[in-house]
Structure 1
Amino acid sequence: MLIRLVKMQFNADFVSEFQENFKTLQPQIAAFEGCSSVQLLQDHQQDNLFFTISHWKDEAHLEAYRCSPLFRDTWAKVKPNFAAKAEAWSLLAP
């Protein structure tokens, strides 16, 4: 299993829109082949700082998602609203 952790900091005026959009996107991402779950977390002190944690069968399934229209369209909408460059890690559960 591959765990993907993504840190995203948004411009303050985009936070509400991002949260609303993610409600629609979360089940679509979770239904993507090879994804067993996806969760959105918000920092308790910085309202504009978010993390996604997703679980993937393997790197090939994650890469298929990253090459999908769903990811490309979503990223095109959120990327211009970043307050800082997004960071991502792919982790293995021991």
Structure 2
Amino acid sequence: MFVRIVKLSFHEENIPAFLENFEEIKEKIRNSPGNQLLELYQDKNNPCIFFTYSYWETEQDLENYRNSALFDEVWTFTKKLFNDKPEAWSVDKLVSLA
């Protein structure tokens, strides 16, 4: 399993549109084949910055999602709202304590 972390930065006036859209599509993303977890975080010091964490069984599962019509729909809508270039990391989870 690996984790995809994406940093998204929005114009303040676009945050409600982003959150509304995320609410509408989050279950579809979560139900994508190979997705095990989807989380959304908002920065405490800069409310215009968000992070998504998604857990995937394999890198191919993420690639399949990224090449899907769902991703195209999500990204086409979301990228219009940015105030900065998004950043993304794919990382292997080494330790998790709950």
Match in the other structure for 1:3: 3
In the alignment, residue 87 of structure 1 is paired with which amino acid?
E
Matched, 1:17 2:17: yes
Structure 1 residue runs of 5 or longer lacking an equivalent are none
Residues 5 and 88, structure 1, Cα contact 8 Å, conserved in 2: yes
The root-mean-square deviation of aligned C-alpha atoms, in Å, is: 0.7
TM-score normalized with structure 2 length? 0.93
Structure 2 residue runs of 5 or longer lacking an equivalent are none
Determine helix, strand or coil for the equivalent of 2:45.
Answer: coil
**For 1:16 and 1:56, how far apart are their aligned partners in 2?**
27
Match in the other structure for 1:92: 92
Match in the other structure for 2:56: 56
TM-score normalized with structure 1 length? 0.96
Residues 7 and 51, structure 2, Cα contact 8 Å, conserved in 1: yes
In the alignment, residue 18 of structure 2 is paired with which amino acid?
F
Residues 26 and 39, structure 1, Cα contact 8 Å, conserved in 2: no
Match in the other structure for 1:45: 45
Number of residues paired by the alignment?
94
Stretches (4+) displaced over 4 A: none
Measure how far apart 1:31 and its partner are.
0.4
Residues 7 and 87, structure 1, Cα contact 8 Å, conserved in 2: yes
In the alignment, residue 22 of structure 1 is paired with which amino acid?
F
% identical aligned pairs: 37
